[in-house]
Amino acid sequence: MKVEPFTVPVEPEEVLWVRRRVEEFRFFREPEGHGWEHGVNRAFMERLRAHWLSAHDWEGTVARLNRFPHVRAEVEPGLRLHAIHRPSSRADARPLLIAHGWPGSVLEFETIIDRLAEPEDPAAPAFHVVAPSIPGYAWSDSPKAPIGPRAVAGLYDRLMRGLGYDRFIYQGGDWGSVIGGWLGLDSKGVEAIHLNGYGLRSANMAPETPEEMRWLEWAMAIRDTETAYLQLQGTKPQSLGYAMMDSPMGVAAWLAEKYHGWSDLTASKDAPPYSLDQLLDTIMIYLTTRSFLTATWLYRGMFLEGGFSIPEGRRIEVPTGVAAFPHDLLAFPPRSMVERGYNVTHWTDMPRGGHFAGMEEPELLLTDLRAFVSDLASRA
């Protein structure tokens, strides 16, 4: 496999185009007194736009990203995957693939990558960290046509072997949790998976207890109120692309609404629990790489592959760790239901947090991943 060093570019022409389009944006009316009820809130978007034009430092973000070593690996002819590849200095370090989803990026793991590789506590496990961008996202090439998460799992498996890691541990949320499930089923290289989202589901999802019935009722309500984006991106992504690829403010609104609706809003209902710079960093990755549309292809590919279900008669047998954040869009059902599809050896009900655990609660995610891997070692 051809693996080359990579430096994240600033893309100054793209930055200038984005700025011009943001400056030209014309606001419009919204229902009075309804906040985020009908979608992204105008007052918040006005604040985001003002900060974007006056204070956001994209060049500084790129410089921060380039503190990490990056590679691009040709996992199949004509398709290169971008990844942060942060080896550890520890002789006992284990390979770890940590995976983002939509509408995220490798930036979700910015604060924990170095700590995973070089833990402060010498008794904590250390990792050779690989954090790839999904095909069609950021600096990874896009496939010629939509591919689904099972195909991506195969590419990730090939990436790890190409980097010299025949055996590895996996961590993922959002799409990362779905990809992790397929790796757990299909890969001979995955030793264990740690998930902070409920991805692949057992073919038998019929509730058997009152607790399972309550979860299923909640999940159906979430489907009705929060997943219209999934249906659109999974069926007609090209039509959405014509609007979004020409509107930085449209992309910003589409993503910001998810960072609000899928996060823990206990402290504030008026804004997502992230800084404006954190949100704009992610938004600018999608814009400067022109990847908003190709990122949605994964949804179409998932439908073409057949959905989220574990094949009938199969179960994910590799040791599985669960970090269950209470305010996640993909919140876990009761453990009894999860264990129909997974060999759950570690489970933590988190005290707070939502969908974007690496950004929102990095300390909780880091601590739980370390505990899961330490438990694996003690079992071995």
SS (H, E, C) 69-105: CEEEEEEECCEEEEEEEECCCCCCCEEEEEECCCCCC
CB 64 within 8 A of CB 260: no
Among 174, 281, 328, 368, the one annotated catalytic: 174
Kindly state the percentage of the chain with pLDDT values over 70: 100
Among 157, 299, 342, 368, the one annotated catalytic: 299
User: Whole-model pTM?
Assistant: 0.96
pLDDT of residue 200: 94
Look over the chain and give the mean of its residue pLDDT values, rounded to a whole number: 95
Per-domain residue ranges of the chain: 3-379
Phi then psi for residue 207, to 5 deg, are -65, 140
pLDDT of residue 126: 98
pLDDT of residue 33: 81
Phi then psi for residue 317, to 5 deg, are -95, -15
* DSSP codes of every residue in 204-269: -----SHHHHHHHHHHHHHHHHH-HHHHHHHH-HHHHHHHHTT-HHHHHHHHHHHHHHTS--SS-S
Q: What is the pLDDT of residues 251-292, one digit of tens each?
A: 999 999 999 999 999 988 888 999 999 999 999 999 999 999
CATH number of 3-379: 3.40.50.1820
Residue 174 annotated to the active site: yes
H-helix segments, the chain: 12-24, 42-54, 58-65, 113-117, 149-162, 175-186, 210-226, 228-235, 237-244, 248-261, 276-288, 292-305, 335-338, 357-360, 362-379
Residue 355 annotated to the active site: yes
List of residues 6+ apart from 30 with CB closer than 8 A: 38, 41, 42
Q: Which token pair is 29? A: 């009316």
Among 56, 165, 355, 368, the one annotated catalytic: 355
What DSSP element (H or E) covers 136? Answer: none
pLDDT of residue 203: 83
Residue 342 annotated to the active site: no
164: three-class secondary structure by DSSP: coil
Query: Helix axis angle, 292-305 relative to 237-244, nearest 10°?
Result: 170
List of residues 6+ apart from 51 with CB closer than 8 A: 276, 277, 280
Residue 374 predicted with pLDDT over 90: yes
Q: What is the mean pLDDT of residues 307-312?
A: 92
Give the burial class of 15: count Cβ atoms within 10 A of its Cβ; 0-12 exposed, 13-18 middle, 19 or more buried.
middle
Q: What is the pLDDT of residues 181-213, one digit of tens each?
A: 999 999 999 999 999 999 999 988 788 899 999
pLDDT of residue 178: 97
